[in-house]
Amino acid sequence: MLLVPRMRKLSIIVASLLSILFIISFATSDPIQESFVQCLEQHAQPNISSVIYTPNNSSFPAVLQTYIRNLRFNESTTRKPFLILTALDVSHIQAAVICAKVYALQMKIRSGGHDYEGVSYVSEVPFFILDLFNLRSINVNIAEETAWVQVGATLGEVYYRIAEKSNVHAFPAGVCPTVGVGGHFSGGGYGNMMRKYGLSVDNIVDAQIIDVNGRVLDRAAMGEDLFWAITGGGGSSFGVLLAYKINLVRVPPKVTVFQVERTYEQNATYLVRRWQEIADKLDDDIFIRMIIDVINSTRTREKTIRSNFFTLFLGDSVRLLSLLNESFPELGLQQKDCIEMSWAESVVYYTSFPLGTPVNVLLSRVPQVLTHLKRKSDYLKKPMPIEGIEFIFKKMIELQTPVLTFNPYGGRMAEIASSAKPFPHRAGNIAKIQYAANWNENGVETAEHYINLTRALYTYMTPFVSKFPREAFLNYRDLDLGINHNGKNSFLEGTVYGIKYFKENFNRLVKVKTLVDPDNFFRNEQSIPVFPHGK
């Protein structure tokens, strides 16, 4: 029984030694590195030399670290790329694909660096990073109510450029403004307007991708199957995404936000139960996110539970109060709790900036918080019983660190077919659950401690969430669900996590992958595999 773990440890040690030797060989400018760089220069126009960073370049650490959004993957022990290419031009990307194939090198594609497991900039094998943060143009057309957005743009930049031209247009996507468009859109993309307008991918009408042969394809050229795959199935399994064309949505000139907190002593148990009964059935204009965490009681100074009801309403406070007094009177919402503002201001508010912060803060690429983190996800199909909620509260107080966030479904999310996009989690879900742990200390042992706390809470929630499969959200990347080593068992390994992320859509994604990238060039630890030969 001990043989497998020992062999696994041995294989990891061997792989690490090979990787170190590989990086050393590149860092010392051996002929392989020179040949690879020459290949890039030969195939790229304009000159690519100025955007190639090797470990010998003094800017290499800064370029690598600027878009690392999870400090778990910025340790001295974290495996580093042997080269970073910060593409400025389509030809730079085409050259990267061509040359990586010639030299059989793994290419990691990074747009914003927010992937929770560092999949876009860390690998267990020798690799280089194709960094797309320079490709950030945003062209908003209010007359057509559309925009073309390059993948290196951030969500904050997209929101600002829309608001710059209109106070009654918006786009349904995430609440963190420093997230890159590439990973967010291609993996589904959701935010606090999803009950009204669905996911980001439900509002994408065209795209541009560079395929494994270096061709630039739009929706018409790539065909509907590939377009379907890159609108929810993740882009990095199929090619290098360049840009998305999005449909803007309408919002009122004034929206309303509020945050209402209730502790365990203030009947949080009942409110959490009641939220689960009604959150997916509220008016589509109402999105109430519920966040449960552990705090020190102001009365007893002991640990207690807090539930925070964090809301965006697409309308004024008078209508909001009327709706909630009817459907959720237990919350006790009052006029003084409500704040009216523009949609763009609500984005700033939802990101926890102080009230009154100028909207141009959305243009900043510096995250408000930079920390070590672990995330997991689940889907809630039916309300948890009161005893179950009490059980989870007790376990959260024991664990202290992990936070639970419930994002309500229903509305538009329940109307779209589960096969319309690779993202399958539609009707039948009350909410998506996020498990979150953040910590500030460095070190692998410290990380393992906090990761295990998160895993423990996830285990305690098992009786109350989806089953067969236990579902998960691709954009909440979680390597606990399975890792693909992209070898001869790639399809079987991919099925383990693929069914959880995509359910019945997984086989269609594999079919598309097999057609467009049969040699599995675009691969990572949780990429879509190809069918085994002969299948």
Give the residue numbers marked as catalytic.
Answer: 476
CA dist list (Å): 464 to 264, 278, 501, 514: 20, 17, 18, 36
What whole-number distance in Å separates Cα of residue 288 and Cα of residue 292?
A: 13
Amino acid, single-letter form, for residue 74: N
What whole-number distance in Å separates Cα of residue 280 and Cα of residue 286?
A: 9
Tokens representing 301 are 């100074």
What whole-number distance in Å separates Cα of residue 372 and Cα of residue 200?
A: 27
What whole-number distance in Å separates Cα of residue 481 and Cα of residue 463?
A: 18
Cis peptide before 46 (omega within 30 of 0): yes
- Provide φ and ψ at 52, rounded to 5°: -105, 125
User: How many CB atoms within 10 Å of residue 467?
Assistant: 11
Residue with the two structure tokens 């100025």: 50
Angular region, 110: left φ>0, alpha ψ -120 to 50, beta rest? beta
What whole-number distance in Å separates Cα of residue 436 and Cα of residue 500?
A: 19
CB 459 within 8 A of CB 435: no
Host H or E run for residue 79:
none
Residue with the two structure tokens 């057309």: 141
